[in-house]
Amino acid sequence: MTAHDKTLALMARGREFLGTETAILCGAMSWVSERNLVAAISNAGGFGVIACGAMTPELLDAEIAATKTLTQKPFGVNLITMHPQLFELIAICAQHGVGHVVAAGGIPPKGSVEAIKEAGAKVICFAPTLALGKKLLRSGADALVIEGNEAGGHIGPVSTSVLAQEILPTLAEDNIVFVAGGIGRGEAMAGYLEMGAAGVQLGTRFACASESIAHPDFKKMFFRASARDAIASVQVDPRLPVIPVRALRNKGTEEFTAKQIEVAKKLDAGELDMGEAQLAIEHFWAGALRRAVIDGDVEGGSVMAGQSVGMVKAEEPVAEIIAALLVESEAALTKRSAA
């Protein structure tokens, strides 16, 4: 590791916070971030995060237990804040002594941050704006992730580069802030570290690692795709606010339009309230992602991917991806310090 002194020095606070050799997180990816990928990331010196997604408490319990048999290193669990059994899931994390819980998919509901911290775990939250970032820190978040629009999966409206400029200068000196979205190479990682980020979070770059259980056809679609194939879903009905999702263009992205119209009609007919309508949309995505990742239905399913997908060319072991990121980052930092 001594070969990457500059990078590791910039990551020092993030490494201490996570308890890892590098402050590179593999963001939770539903269906993809299960025991194998999570353990591989943590064993390679990064920070793996289990994607709980729509799992029941029993399934999460089994997944954490299985991950523990594959790694002794720290890893986290990502919980979706709108999960109806959020507090039961928090209790499962507590029983296992999970050190870090990532609260995703919205502002954590009342009492949830406290419940996570009561068990001694650290809470990581997503900050969509500077104001919300400050509020989350005041409410007890121990670290923030800022994730730009380039990312795969559910996305916000603002690019990573703008969010980084808006948030890092104000919050990163006194707080742990990780940057995510569109990072495919170490040079970009180095740039955000220099701006004050404590570390980075990548998803797309790790989704097709050798250790990832994603279906071979899912991986093939990644290898063939370029940045412009990773498109954001479109909201068709202004009354039904849906969080956009970035995925590779296919028949499934079109079916989402039809699904929105169907759900909006049910909303109009009073068959669903707004919360149920949004949950129906989320269930659609969870099912579509499962079909692509697990069954290999890359036409009808959802192949969620970020714009950095064009930099994913082949299956590589996690350790090699992390090593390449460190080498690229170190070279960039060395070049700058020599200039």
Ligand X SMILES: Cc1cc2nc3c(=O)[nH]c(=O)nc-3n(C[C@H](O)[C@H](O)[C@H](O)COP(=O)(O)O)c2cc1C
Nearer of residues 8 and 155 to ligand X, judged by Cβ: 155
Tokens of 314: 């082949």
Interatomic CA distance for residues 110 and 87, integer angstroms: 11
**Binding characters for ligand X, 238-257, by CB under 6 A (x = yes):** --------------------
Determine, following the binding rule CB under 6 A, whether residue 153 of this chain makes contact with ligand X: yes
**Binding characters for ligand X, 203-222, by CB under 6 A (x = yes):** xxx-x---------------
Q: What Å distances lie between residue 225 and 12, 133, 203, 309, CA to CA? A: 35, 33, 16, 6
**Binding characters for ligand X, 16-35, by CB under 6 A (x = yes):** -----------xxxx-x---
Determine, following the binding rule CB under 6 A, whether residue 305 of this chain makes contact with ligand X: yes
Residues in region 120-149 near ligand X by CB under 6 A: 147
Nearest to 19 by CA among 60, 50, 48, 51: 48
Helix axes 35-43, 318-338, angle to 10 degrees: 40
Determine, following the binding rule CB under 6 A, whether residue 51 of this chain makes contact with ligand X: yes
Per DSSP, the residues of 166-220 read HHHHHHTTTSEEEEESS--SHHHHHHHHHTT-SEEEESHHHHTSTT----HHHHH
Interatomic CA distance for residues 85 and 54, integer angstroms: 9
Nearer of residues 185 and 266 to ligand X, judged by Cβ: 185
Give the three-class secondary structure for 120.
coil
Determine, following the binding rule CB under 6 A, whether residue 181 of this chain makes contact with ligand X: yes
Nearer of residues 74 and 105 to ligand X, judged by Cβ: 105
Determine, following the binding rule CB under 6 A, whether residue 180 of this chain makes contact with ligand X: yes
R_g of the chain, CA atoms, integer Å: 19
Determine, following the binding rule CB under 6 A, whether residue 53 of this chain makes contact with ligand X: yes
Nearer of residues 267 and 321 to ligand X, judged by Cβ: 321
Binding site for ligand X (CB under 6 A): 27-30, 32, 51, 53, 78, 104, 147, 150-153, 180-183, 201-205, 207, 304-306, 308
